[in-house]
């Protein structure tokens, strides 16, 4: 098959195979219907300005309590696995509540089932103990809109959020506290941090999936607390204790900067016993200098599995663009080219191949730094970020790739419960370079979800040099053996067809001569 990074999704008629069904994810645009709760018609959320009620019914707006849990493979709602596919949105960078819904609708239509929301303490509070949640700061309305538009919410109230905003979201009055660190157990600042969390939680706890009030499905405590030195673990524990004491019943996590191993629940370090429920991390493989060379796309599964064997792989911030610091030699359009559709495709497939079942693009919509809210060190008026939805709220070509990835995950449910298998051997038959292969196989419903009875599986391929633009031809054998014995011959044929072309849905023999541009190709096998 030939894979070209510049092409959009291809469409074609579906072919149902009696033996092996292989679907190229980048051609998959099948629409999966949203789950509808059993029983009486669900109670719609209370109406909000400009709304006629929910556009889709799901556990985030059906008015019923649901159990939210995680294990090593994915998040689950009432025991049903959920692949979380999210994008970041900052409401203060679009200070027009009537337009928040527009972004949410664009996200839902682009294949997302979740939105991640930072909450800006310094925007809501200009003096200790007083908080403003009205007008463009109405987060109750924000959360209601998200649930009405069928999006789960990843709530991220800090206290510190970074986000390239003034003081990382902390209020300016903290600088008068005299504390050596504004993120510490120093009584002068800890009380204010807990007061902010309490004010936020009074609204957030009414919007939880677990209680039937809304679509908050998980909650982040603090952000990128770089290490576990000094009183930082005690500070984190105080925050988590407050969060759970306020009635937050969905799972709580921390976003670990660069997957450095800080605050891993159950670890033997000081941060392993602060009350967090599971582990998450951020990942920006290309870097942030949009006029420099790009970094390599990494395989994160081995690294994360060395840290935790109990948490799902959750990239709480994955590269969706890059910011444009004051005085930089590049602008937002350069960052859109730097983090382009071809990278987005390869990065997305590579994450699926590494077992990432919870993912959030930072950013999905960047917006504008209004009223001196941007950090002078890393942002100016525009916060377009080169994101898939640009500052004018227009969809860019990158959004098309995201839609392909999102709809693939909706259509291919077994991917939420897969484990890695030995990669299939790949022979490069033409061109200069090497090809990496990935293989995953389902651990649940093997017989029901596959013709072989051994479980649905996922195959992914990409060039080892993720920045190469060479075209390669490669071939590989295909064996549908059981999960514990992948190398054994089973359901194997060898029917090389060098004339075969990629279709959105097609049957493949076990060996195929193919060519690839630098980006990835995923497949599903039933």
Q: Which residue ranges form the domains of the chain, and what is each CATH number?
A: 68-417 (3.20.20.80), 422-482 (no CATH)
H helix or E strand, kind and range, residue 400:
helix 397-411
Q: Which two tokens stand for residue 457?
A: 């599986």
Q: Which two tokens stand for residue 301?
A: 């599964």
Active-site pick, 317, 364, 391, 404: 317
pLDDT tens readout for residues 411-426: 999 999 999 999 999 9
* Residue 391: active-site member: no
Instruction: Return the pLDDT at 487.
Output: 39
Question: What is the distance between the alpha carbons of residues 170 and 182, in angstroms, rounded to a whole number?
Answer: 8
Question: What is the distance between the alpha carbons of residues 100 and 112, in angstroms, rounded to a whole number?
Answer: 15
Active-site pick, 88, 149, 192, 224: 224
pLDDT tens readout for residues 81-135: 999 999 999 999 999 999 999 999 999 999 999 999 999 999 999 999 999 999 9
Q: How many CB atoms lie within 10 A of CB 98?
A: 10
Instruction: Return the pLDDT at 19.
Output: 24
pTM: 0.86
Residue 24, pLDDT above cutoff 50: no
Identify the band that residue 55 occupies on the pLDDT scale cut at 50, 70 and 90: confident
* Residue 317: active-site member: yes
SS3 content of the chain, % helix, strand, coil (to 5): 25, 20, 55
Question: What is the distance between the alpha carbons of residues 363 and 377, in angstroms, rounded to a whole number?
Answer: 18
pLDDT tens readout for residues 346-380: 999 999 999 999 999 999 999 999 999 999 777 78
Question: What is the distance between the alpha carbons of residues 503 and 15, in angstroms, rounded to a whole number?
Answer: 10
């Amino acid at each position: 098959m030939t894979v070209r990074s510049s092409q959009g999704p291809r469409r074609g008629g579906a072919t149902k195979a009696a033996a092996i069904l292989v679907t190229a994810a980048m051609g998959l645009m099948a629409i999966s219907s949203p789950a509808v709760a059993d029983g009486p018609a669900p109670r719609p959320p209370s109406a909000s300005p400009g709304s006629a009620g929910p556009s889709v019914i799901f556990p985030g707006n059906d008015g019923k309590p649901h159990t939210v849990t995680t294990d090593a493979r994915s998040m689950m709602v009432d025991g049903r696995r959920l692949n979380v596919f999210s994008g970041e949105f900052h409401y203060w960078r679009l200070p027009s509540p009537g337009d928040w819904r527009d972004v949410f609708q664009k996200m839902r239509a682009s294949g997302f089932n979740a939105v991640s929301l930072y909450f800006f303490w310094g925007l809501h509070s200009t003096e200790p103990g007083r908080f403003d949640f009205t007008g463009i700061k109405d987060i109750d309305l924000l959360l209601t809109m998200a649930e009405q538009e069928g999006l789960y919410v990843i709530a991220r109230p800090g206290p510190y959020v970074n986000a390239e905003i003034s003081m990382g979201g902390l209020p300016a009055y903290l600088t008068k506290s005299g504390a050596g660190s504004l993120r510490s157990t120093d009584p002068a600042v800890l009380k204010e941090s807990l007061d902010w969390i309490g004010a936020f939680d009074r609204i957030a706890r009414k919007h939880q999936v677990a209680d039937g009030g809304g679509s908050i499905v998980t909650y982040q405590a603090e952000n990128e607390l770089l290490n576990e030195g000094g009183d930082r673990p005690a500070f984190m524990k105080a925050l988590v204790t407050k969060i759970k004491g306020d009635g937050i019943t969905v799972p709580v996590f921390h976003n670990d900067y660069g997957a450095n191993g800080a605050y891993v629940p159950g670890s033997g370090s000081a941060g392993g016993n602060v009350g967090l429920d599971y582990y998450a991390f951020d990942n920006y493989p290309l870097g942030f200098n949009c006029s420099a060379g790009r970094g390599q796309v990494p395989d994160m599964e081995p690294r994360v599995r060395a840290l935790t064997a109990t948490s799902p792989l959750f990239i709480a911030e994955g590269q969706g663009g890059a910011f444009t610091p004051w005085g930089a030699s590049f602008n937002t359009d350069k960052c859109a080219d730097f983090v382009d559709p071809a990278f987005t495709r390869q990065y997305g497939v590579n994450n699926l191949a590494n077992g990432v079942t919870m993912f959030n693009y930072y950013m999905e919509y960047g917006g504008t730094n209004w009223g001196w809210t941007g950090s002078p060190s890393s942002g100016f008026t525009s916060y377009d970020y080169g994101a898939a939805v640009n500052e004018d709220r227009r969809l860019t070509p990158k959004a098309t790739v995201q839609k392909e990835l999102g709809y693939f995950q909706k259509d291919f449910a077994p991917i939420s419960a897969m484990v890695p298998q030995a990669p299939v051997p790949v022979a490069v038959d033409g061109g200069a370079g090497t090809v990496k292969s990935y293989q995953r196989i389902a651990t649940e419903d093997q017989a029901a979800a596959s013709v072989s009875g051994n479980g649905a599986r996922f195959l992914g391929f990409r060039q080892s040099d993720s920045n190469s633009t060479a075209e390669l031809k490669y071939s590989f054998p295909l064996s549908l053996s059981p999960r514990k014995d992948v190398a054994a011959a089973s359901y194997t044929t060898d029917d090389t067809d060098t004339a075969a072309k990629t279709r959105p849905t097609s049957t493949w023999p076990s060996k195929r001569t193919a060519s690839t541009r630098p980006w990835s190709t995923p497949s599903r096998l039933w």
